[in-house]
Amino acid sequence: MTKNITFRPDEVSGATREAIERAIAALRAGDLIIYPTETFYGIGADPFAAGALDKLFALKGREAAKTVALIADDAAAAFALAREVPESARTLAAAFWPGPLTLVMPARADLPVALAGPDGGVGVRVSSHPIARAIAAGLGRPITATSANLAGEPPAPTLAAVREAFGEKVKVILDGGTLAGGAPSTLVACDRTGWRILRAGAIDDAAIAAACSRAAAR
């Protein structure tokens, strides 16, 4: 049976810590969880656990050819996924992490195909939601950050929307109440040639450009 765990988002101790530990244990067992982020609910899997990514794609009804972005607990863990960290990525991370900015960087050769994909880039962000970061920190590696919805449906900002989509199919659900919703994380590709916006999102294009321009002018 699915275990609902309620917490106050500003707390990562006591009962909340116990809830996080249950979520981490589920991930280590190769199970899926649903957890809150600064925008929408996400489906968490340990991308390095055998079969976990297959479960994720099956749950969402998502095409296996589509890559999955990740959430890390800090910039060091995020950058560790990359074969190289372009200067534009460091600039944008310093300006907007923790926050709703996903950076796509050249991926390490040993990452699962579902993370790197045919273009060779891995997408990762450091969430500004303390629970999302605490789960990744406790697991000791980034977790998947795909939105908690069926493929083709809108992302879920409420637990009711999560329930409608998945019912009792997920091992652990962290109940964060109604989340901010709105736009998803902004997706920016960074490589040796510079940066480009792949998906508009919560951080607007002008803010991204301004941060990079300030860095270039130094």
Please state, in angstroms and rounded to a whole number, the distance separating the CA atoms of residues 187 and 194. 14
199 sits in which H/E element:
strand 194-199
Please state, in angstroms and rounded to a whole number, the distance separating the CA atoms of residues 179 and 132. 13
3 state DSSP class of 195? strand
Q: For residue 5, what pLDDT is reported?
A: 43
196 sits in which H/E element:
strand 194-199
* Sequential DSSP letters for 117-177: TTTTEEEEEE-S-HHHHHHHHHHTS-EE--BSS-TTSPPPSSHHHHHHHHTT-SSEEEE--
Please state, in angstroms and rounded to a whole number, the distance separating the CA atoms of residues 122 and 68. 8
Q: What is the pLDDT of residues 32-58, one digit of tens each?
A: 999 999 999 999 999 999 999 999 999
Q: What is the pLDDT of residues 74-113, one digit of tens each?
A: 999 999 999 999 999 999 999 999 999 999 999 999 999 8
Q: For residue 12, what pLDDT is reported?
A: 54
pLDDT exceeds cutoff 70 at 204: yes
pLDDT exceeds cutoff 50 at 8: no
Please state, in angstroms and rounded to a whole number, the distance separating the CA atoms of residues 9 and 35. 11
Please state, in angstroms and rounded to a whole number, the distance separating the CA atoms of residues 62 and 55. 10
Q: For residue 7, what pLDDT is reported?
A: 41
What does the mean pLDDT of the chain come to?
Answer: 90
Q: What is the pTM of this model?
A: 0.91
Token code pair at residue 162 = 């999560």
First-to-last C-alpha distance (Å) of the chain = 55
Q: For residue 69, what pLDDT is reported?
A: 96
Q: Could you give phi then psi for residue 90, rounded to 5 degrees?
A: -65, -40
Q: For residue 118, what pLDDT is reported?
A: 79
Q: Please give the share of the chain, as a percent, with pLDDT higher than 70.
A: 93
Q: Could you give phi then psi for residue 133, rounded to 5 degrees?
A: -65, -40
Strand runs labelled E in 45-114: 70-72, 101-106
Q: For residue 171, what pLDDT is reported?
A: 77
> Whose structure tokens read 């998945």?
166
What are the C-alpha distances in Å from 46 to residues 21, 56, 58, 94, 215? 14, 10, 15, 26, 34
pLDDT exceeds cutoff 90 at 143: yes
pLDDT exceeds cutoff 60 at 4: no
Strand partners, 154: none
Report the CATH fold assignment for 3-83+101-181. DHBP synthase (3.90.870)
Q: For residue 15, what pLDDT is reported?
A: 63
82 or 8, higher pLDDT? 82
Q: For residue 62, what pLDDT is reported?
A: 85
pLDDT exceeds cutoff 90 at 126: yes
pLDDT exceeds cutoff 70 at 14: no
